[in-house]
Structure 1
Amino acid sequence: MYILAFIGWLLLGFAGMEIISYLVHRFIFHGLLWEVHRSHHEPTHGSFELNDLFSLFFAGVSVYLMYRGSAAPIESVSFAIGTGIAVYGILYFIIHDLFAHKRFMPFKSDSKVMRLIRYAHQRHHQSIDKEGQEPYGLFLFPYDKYKK
């Protein structure tokens, strides 16, 4: 029974991160913390951007939650949610940084879903203005709207 609860909390951590990512990206990164996030919207990027500090923060939250529940990981809500955040972070890094922005070790994919996510994210970057463009999330957006 613990494993089903663990999977449920893990999925909640993953899905919660997409919702939190959308809200934080939309209202904080493109608001109060625009001076940090702007590095991600500028046309030229180095290996690292000031914006990468946000990823380190969320990774820290994930590690903290997993550490907090490490005594009994399968029984721990904290460990499961932290793992869900970590899974989200890994997929975000692969899809957003490596695939969409071609940072570090870029790769190509023939996956229609991956290409659709990249296209939608490119729409977000069509302007370097603080106001930004939809979509602010990575996975949750109206897929039909972005099909070519």
Structure 2
Amino acid sequence: MSILKFISLVALSFILMELLSYILHRYIFHGLFWKIHKTHHESSHSLFEMNDLFSLSFSISAIVLMIAGLQENILESIYFPIGLGITIYGILYFIIHDVYTHKRFAKLKTDNRIINIIKKAHQKHHQSAEKIGNEPYGLFLFDYELFSRKLKK
């Protein structure tokens, strides 16, 4: 596999993770698994919440894929770049969502406009602690123009 194909698989996996996360969050986490996800919408002072089980399952999937990819030539395996794309998504999700937006593990500040727009959009989602939540359900997938205007106000 060429380097270009490898990088393309990583990028595609990252994009598909956001699409999958949006669908799971909207229809499964706010549906069938609401009792678990609800812990994320309630005020809590604990370091961990039941909702972290979802992130753990994505992490395990990524690790399994990367280990499977390491069993063969890394550039010939489709498993490793897919696992890497999921991992990159997970790292960004953790930093932007858990650390910066929810301040769960550390208090970070940034003047980065894009990250602040993402934070504003996610805060909109958390305006309600009800099962039928507010858009946006994705971390990166939302109307940037709308929240960019709200950030200026």
Residues in 2 aligned to 1:47 and 1:97: alpha-carbon distance in whole angstroms: 11
The answer to whether the aligner puts 1:99 opposite 2:121 as a matched pair is no
Residue type at the aligned position of 2:50: L
Counterparts of 1:52-131 in structure 2 under 5 Å?
A: 52-70=52-70, 71-131=72-132
Aligned Cα RMSD in Å? Answer: 0.9
Alignment correspondent of 1:37? 37
Comparing 126-135 with 73-82, greater Cα deviation is found at 73-82
How many residues align? The count is 148
* 1:18-54 C-alpha deviation (Å, 9 max, x unpaired): 0000000000000000000000000224100000000
Match of 1:27 in 2: 27
Residues 100-129 of structure 1, C-alpha deviations (whole Å, 9 max, x = no match):
101111200000101000000000000000
Q: Which runs of 5+ in 1 are unaligned?
A: none
Moved over 6 A (4+): none
Report the residue type matching 1:77 in the other structure. Answer: I
SS in 2 for 1:138: coil
For normalisation by structure 1, the TM-score amounts to: 0.97
TM-score by length of 2: 0.94
Amino acid corresponding to residue 53 of structure 2 in structure 1: L
In structure 2, how many angstroms separate the alpha carbons of the residues matched to 1:64 and 1:32?
26
